[in-house]
Amino acid sequence: MKADLLAAAISLIFLTVTIRAIRKRQLTELMAILWLSVSIGTVILSALLPLGTFNSLSRFFGIAYPPAMILVFGMAFVILFTFRLSVSLSRLSARQKILVQELALMRAQAESERTE
């Protein structure tokens, strides 16, 4: 029972943190929607804990030890998400490189026009 309460508390805190971040506009729209659904998802999951739905769900997936189900899905999410972050980080640094180069070229151009 205590564990159920702990899970509920953690997921509610996570939901609050997400909502605050969204209101402060710290996340882009896509990321905001993603994290909002994740935090609502965890709230629902923790509410389901005391009802035993969890055990039947893990039985459905053929996972004998119910908490392992969380680990499996959690890890899958984390791996996919960090991969996605890597992709966008690479894209950002490629774009940043172009901007830095363009800036240097334009600065040189402006300078040569000034001295002419």
Partner 1 sequence: MLAPDVRDAYSRSCVVVPAYNEGPSIEKVIVGIHEHMPGAAVVVVNDGSSDDTEARARAAGALVLSLALNLGIGGAVQTGYKYAMAQGFSYAIQIDGDGQHEPSEAHHLLEQLLAGEADIVIGSRWLGRGNYVAPRNRRYGMKFLESLVSFRAGTRFTDTTSGFRALNRRAISLFAEHYPTDYPEVESILLARHHGLEVREVPVVMKAREHGHSSIRGLKTLYFMVRITIALLLGVVGGENS
Instruction: Write down the least CB distance from residue 24 to partner 1, Å.
Output: 27
Q: Is 84 in the site for partner 1 (CB under 8 A)?
A: no
Q: Is 95 in the site for partner 1 (CB under 8 A)?
A: yes
Q: How many residues does the chain have?
A: 116
Pick the piece of the chain touching partner 1 (CB under 8 A) from 47-55, 62-70, 74-82, 87-95.
87-95
Nearer to partner 1, 44 or 111 (CB): 111
Nearer to partner 1, 44 or 103 (CB): 103
Burial tier of 46 (Cβ tally within 10 Å: 0-12, 13-18, 19+) = buried
Pick the piece of the chain touching partner 1 (CB under 8 A) from 8-16, 33-41, 45-53, 88-96.
88-96
**Helices of type H across the chain:** 2-23, 29-48, 53-60, 66-115
Q: Is 9 in the site for partner 1 (CB under 8 A)?
A: no
Buried b (16+ CB within 10 A) or exposed e, 13-37: ebbeebeeebeeeeeeeeebeebbe
